[in-house]
Chain A
Amino acid sequence: MLAIPVVFLVTLMVFSLMHMLPGDPATVILGQEATPEAVAALRAELGLNKPLPVQYFDWLSGVLHGNLGNSLVDHTPVAQLIMERLPATIELTLGTFIVATLIAVPAGILSAVRPRSLTDYSGTLFALCGMSVPHFWLGMMLIILFAVKLGWVPASGYVPFFDDPLGNLSAMILPIIATGLRESAVLMRMMRSSLLEALQADYIRTAYAKGLKERLVILRHALKNALVPVVTTSGLVVAGLLGGLVITESIFSIPGFGKLIVDSIFNRDFVTVQGAVLVSALLIVLINLLVDILHFIIDPRIKSGKEVG
């Protein structure tokens, strides 16, 4: 159970890093026009005059009592800010992951089964393009095509899923495709190489020798072993998406979690940054746990601690 000290260390690091940043929060929050008295008053109100360890332990004890504090900028409870922003990002992440998997797994299998064929080359080309095309460019192209030219979906206009499910889906479909295509490229390359490796193994030759059909050999025997590194990569991809969709969120004006963190850093809203990073650290611990469980389901040998071939 290393997770608890890890999360604790993350909060300590974020706290220290934020306070190392130049730019006093009171000055940044009040802007150019503020009088020195206003800045001093705000510093006192925000508790910025206290020694740093005191500030950290004040925050930590709040967290242990279930209180993430209030935003330095507009006094909104941080927990509320996070709850407002997290659903959009989780939806975007899940959608992206589904699109990515739907493209990557079949394409990766086809490429690996027929290496150096036309299918393989087109798959590799697709992956190369997917990795190289910047998110923002792809996002804008999708907007031009589907929102401006065809008018099928709105170019922006996020609504929470439970307020208006169809409106939500129509606003989310483009960003999901934009990020999904890119992430599919990452997963596809992993799928291809890992399956290629598995197909070289002795047990595959044995399986063919037993007279099994190719489909069965690939799906039953090779794929199962090949999936382990793919699941690991997927875990990394999902963890990265949770905080790393800032650009997509900006282009499609989706109120996401990544944008909350970035905006809060620029506003020197320490309390919000700390709360948000704490939540993402917890989420990543959770994802790692899920990945471990999936490993165990896919390959029962992992439980006994044996090396996976």
Chain B
Amino acid sequence: MKKSWLIAFILLLGSSLLLGGCNGQQAGTDRDEDTINISLNADPPKLDPAYSSALVDRMVFQSIFDKLVDLDQHGNIVPMLAEKREISPDDKTFIFHLRKGVKFQDGTDFNAEAVKFNFARYMQPDSVRRNELKLVDHVTALDPYTVKVQLKQPFAPFLAVLTDRAGMMVSPAAVQKEGKNFMNHPVGTGPFLYKSRIKGSTIVLEKNPHYWRKGLPKVNRVVYKVIVDPNVALMNLRSGDVDITNKFPPREIGRIINDAQVRVINHESEGYQGFHLNMAKPPFNKKELRQAVDLLINREAIAKVVFGPAGSPAYSPFVPSHFAYNPDDRPETPNVKKAKELLEKAGMKNGFTFTLKIPTTPAGQQVGQMIQNMLRPAGIHVQLEKVEFGTMIEQAETGNMQAVALGWSGRPDPDLNIYDFLASTGSQNYSHYSNPQVDRLLIDARREMDQSKRKAIYDRIMKIVHEDVPYVYLYNEHDVSGLSKNVQGFQYIPDGLIRTAELSKK
């Protein structure tokens, strides 16, 4: 009796393996030419632009929602749902002429009332977008397809803000129907509509048959798969279960150059990584000590050792693709003697000790250890404390730290990468930095519409910031994705987010 059971079990297992083998080609209808599979390194927490705070949400949003304006491959702002725009001479009034005949995926019309509704929703107190639209005074629908946005004061990054979540148009009817549950049934005007989701595993989107851009999207389905480990994502890319990965293991980049199946897209991101020095507390209430730390760090070494081809050294919040980037803004060569002089000036001749909070990722730890070694020759001892991300944000906000390694994923306009971090009242000014001159210049830069004049202001700001050192800029972690060679129509956009409408498969 027992034996026959055993045999039955073995047969069952064996047959399921075999059947699985035969079925591999169709499992989950994944290898279909009409489906693009994209792996994401985290499960998108909230599919609602009003409440989203994760980078990975924005990947999925590109397929479901259209924005008033978008970015092109050079980072220029181009029309999307707003066909044309007019800006008043005082730079405070924006008039958007909307595209006609666009419908939300639930069949309702996209029009000026919908735009007004979306602005109002993003500006509610509980919305995470509120800060980005703080300078909007009011929004009026002039006629069914014309919207006027009145700003409280000129705000140069305004259009750049509208290329991202704050410019994404969601269906008012769907919001009214679903309320807070909208994030589980998102409806926009985008090329793909939300179909189903298995939380923690897959998000399935289907072609929007009434999409306003003729002939698009090119495939019938986009499936986002959550694959946390980039090495596993790469294996999925090789096996054909995934067509695009949003992260790529840095060490594999060099090996892939002559690969027949896989292409690597490697670009500098718009963000930066580094660490805040808490100026409200000893030891970093002393300027010389901050300068000494900044002076001892060899950014090139960090980028090269930890990230190889997937990172570059950074010395400011701006990357070369930003107009505000200044190629002459370079750190001094690390100099132990000079650092010791600074310590002596601050009355800390024998050095000092501080705690740096670092993330729990392997890369974060490696960077921490390199900093430790670079500061030691001058007698500065770094204690590394690994902190999980949720805790880190809270400790940064409450000021319960001496130094914390928190970076920024980056935005298309320079203001969005500097203002909130360095202005006295900035929402992410974890360094407690306050320099009235910098505050004034930051506001000037916001109000200046001329790019070359704005750049000149940012150059002046960075000069002061390098003197004050509230934050130690370290490196830029690149956006690296893997792409199957079967995928056609891929275009890299500087915000690093994958646009799916034009993708197709051979």
Q: Is A156 an interface residue (CB 8 A)?
A: yes
Q: CB-CB < 8 A to B183: which residues of A?
A: 74-75
Q: How far is the CB of B391 from chain A (nearest CB, A)?
A: 4
Within 8 A of A (CB), among B1-47: 2, 6, 9-10, 13, 16-17, 19-21, 23-24, 26-28, 30, 43, 45-46
Give A48 to B385 CA distance when docked, in angstroms.
Answer: 28
Known A81-B199, A253-B226; contact A99-B13, beta-carbon cutoff 8 A = yes
Give A41 to B54 CA distance when docked, in angstroms.
Answer: 19
Interface pair B130/A102, CB less than 8 Å apart = no
Q: Is B362 an interface residue (CB 8 A)?
A: no
Within 8 A of A (CB), among B392-406: 393-395, 397, 406
Known A152-B21, A170-B19; contact A22-B241, beta-carbon cutoff 8 A = no
Scan B173-198; emit 1 where CB is below 8 A from any A CB, else 0. 00000001101100000000000001
Q: Is B366 an interface residue (CB 8 A)?
A: no
Interface pair A159/B28, CB less than 8 Å apart = yes
Give A166 to B388 CA distance when docked, in angstroms.
Answer: 39
Q: Is B373 an interface residue (CB 8 A)?
A: no
Interface pair A153/B24, CB less than 8 Å apart = yes
Give A102 to B420 CA distance when docked, in angstroms.
Answer: 60
Residue of A nearest to B420 (CB): A33
Interface pair B43/A263, CB less than 8 Å apart = yes
A-B CB pair tally, cutoff 8 Å: 199
Q: CB-CB < 8 A to B226: which residues of A?
A: 253
Known A155-B239, A156-B241; contact A32-B19, beta-carbon cutoff 8 A = no
Comparing A143-151, A229-237, A273-281, the segment that makes contact with chain B is A143-151
Instruction: Select which of A37, A74, A156 is within 8 A of B45 by beta carbon.
Output: A74
Interface pair B198/A255, CB less than 8 Å apart = yes
Q: Is B372 an interface residue (CB 8 A)?
A: no
Q: Is B365 an interface residue (CB 8 A)?
A: no
Give A144 to B234 CA distance when docked, in angstroms.
Answer: 10
Interface pair B235/A30, CB less than 8 Å apart = no
Interface pair A33/B427, CB less than 8 Å apart = yes
Q: Is A266 an interface residue (CB 8 A)?
A: yes
Give A157 to B131 CA distance when docked, in angstroms.
Answer: 38
Q: Is A206 an interface residue (CB 8 A)?
A: no
Residue of A nearest to B198 (CB): A255
Interface pair A151/B130, CB less than 8 Å apart = no
Within 8 A of B (CB), among A155-210: 155-160, 164, 166-167, 169-171, 173
Interface pair A73/B46, CB less than 8 Å apart = yes
Interface pair B46/A74, CB less than 8 Å apart = yes
Q: Is B140 an interface residue (CB 8 A)?
A: no
Known A41-B125, A73-B45; contact A251-B20, beta-carbon cutoff 8 A = no
Q: Is A260 an interface residue (CB 8 A)?
A: yes
Interface pair A157/B128, CB less than 8 Å apart = no
Q: CB-CB < 8 A to B235: which residues of A?
A: 140, 143-144, 147-148, 155
Q: Is A52 an interface residue (CB 8 A)?
A: no
Q: Is B434 an interface residue (CB 8 A)?
A: no
Give A251 to B234 CA distance when docked, in angstroms.
Answer: 12
Q: Is B201 an interface residue (CB 8 A)?
A: yes
Interface pair B24/A154, CB less than 8 Å apart = yes
Interface pair A31/B198, CB less than 8 Å apart = no
Q: Is B227 an interface residue (CB 8 A)?
A: yes
Q: Is A69 an interface residue (CB 8 A)?
A: no
Q: Is B424 an interface residue (CB 8 A)?
A: no
Give A31 to B428 CA distance when docked, in angstroms.
Answer: 11
A33, A160, A219, A268 pick with most chain B CB within 10 angstroms: A33
Known A167-B27, A173-B20; contact A156-B236, beta-carbon cutoff 8 A = yes
Give A147 to B233 CA distance when docked, in angstroms.
Answer: 12
Q: CB-CB < 8 A to B90: which residues of A?
A: none
Interface pair B131/A152, CB less than 8 Å apart = no
Q: Is A308 an interface residue (CB 8 A)?
A: no
Q: How far is the CB of B183 from chain A (nearest CB, A)?
A: 5
Interface pair B127/A84, CB less than 8 Å apart = no
Q: Is B454 an interface residue (CB 8 A)?
A: no
Scan A106-150; emit 1 where CB is below 8 A from any B CB, else 0. 000000000000000000000000000000100010011001100
Within 8 A of A (CB), among B195-248: 198-202, 225-229, 231-232, 235-236, 238-242
The interface residues of chain A, by DSSP majority, are classed as: helix
Within 8 A of B (CB), among A13-59: 21-24, 27-38, 41-42, 45
Interface pair A147/B229, CB less than 8 Å apart = no
Interface pair B242/A156, CB less than 8 Å apart = yes
Give A38 to B129 CA distance when docked, in angstroms.
Answer: 10
Q: How far is the CB of A137 from chain B (nearest CB, A)?
A: 11
Give A32 to B125 CA distance when docked, in angstroms.
Answer: 16
Q: CB-CB < 8 A to B20: which residues of A?
A: 152-153, 166, 169-171, 173
Interface pair B393/A156, CB less than 8 Å apart = no
Q: How far is the CB of B204 from chain A (nearest CB, A)?
A: 11
Q: CB-CB < 8 A to B184: which residues of A?
A: 74-76
Q: Is B53 an interface residue (CB 8 A)?
A: yes
Q: How far is the CB of A90 from chain B (nearest CB, A)?
A: 15
Q: CB-CB < 8 A to B238: which residues of A?
A: 148
Q: CB-CB < 8 A to A249: which residues of B?
A: 200
Q: Is A93 an interface residue (CB 8 A)?
A: no
Give A183 to B226 CA distance when docked, in angstroms.
Answer: 26
Interface pair B390/A268, CB less than 8 Å apart = yes
Q: CB-CB < 8 A to A99: which residues of B?
A: 13
Instruction: Select which of B19, B128, B390 is within 8 A of A28 by beta carbon.
Output: B390
Interface pair A84/B28, CB less than 8 Å apart = no
Known A75-B183, A140-B235, A156-B225; contact A255-B199, beta-carbon cutoff 8 A = yes
Interface pair A33/B391, CB less than 8 Å apart = no
Interface pair A35/B131, CB less than 8 Å apart = yes
Q: CB-CB < 8 A to A250: which residues of B?
A: 228-229
Q: CB-CB < 8 A to A157: which residues of B?
A: 27-28, 30, 202, 225, 241
Q: CB-CB < 8 A to B181: which residues of A?
A: 75
Q: How far is the CB of A83 from chain B (nearest CB, A)?
A: 11
Q: Is A243 an interface residue (CB 8 A)?
A: no
Q: Is B126 an interface residue (CB 8 A)?
A: yes
Q: Is A267 an interface residue (CB 8 A)?
A: yes
Q: CB-CB < 8 A to A38: which residues of B?
A: 125-128, 130
Q: CB-CB < 8 A to A27: which residues of B?
A: 390, 393-394, 397
Q: Is B389 an interface residue (CB 8 A)?
A: yes
Q: Is A98 an interface residue (CB 8 A)?
A: yes
Interface pair B388/A266, CB less than 8 Å apart = yes
Give A155 to B235 CA distance when docked, in angstroms.
Answer: 7
Give A250 to B227 CA distance when docked, in angstroms.
Answer: 7
Interface pair B27/A23, CB less than 8 Å apart = no
Rank and list the top 8 A-B pairs by shortest CB-CB distance, nearest first: A31-B53, A170-B20, A23-B390, A255-B201, A255-B200, A152-B21, A28-B390, A157-B28
7 A–B contacts from the bound complex (CB under 8 Å)? A27-B394, A75-B181, A143-B235, A147-B236, A157-B241, A169-B16, A255-B199
Known contacts A30-B128, A34-B427; 11 further A-B pairs (Cβ under 8 A): A28-B393, A31-B53, A76-B184, A102-B6, A102-B13, A153-B24, A154-B239, A156-B225, A166-B23, A167-B27, A254-B201
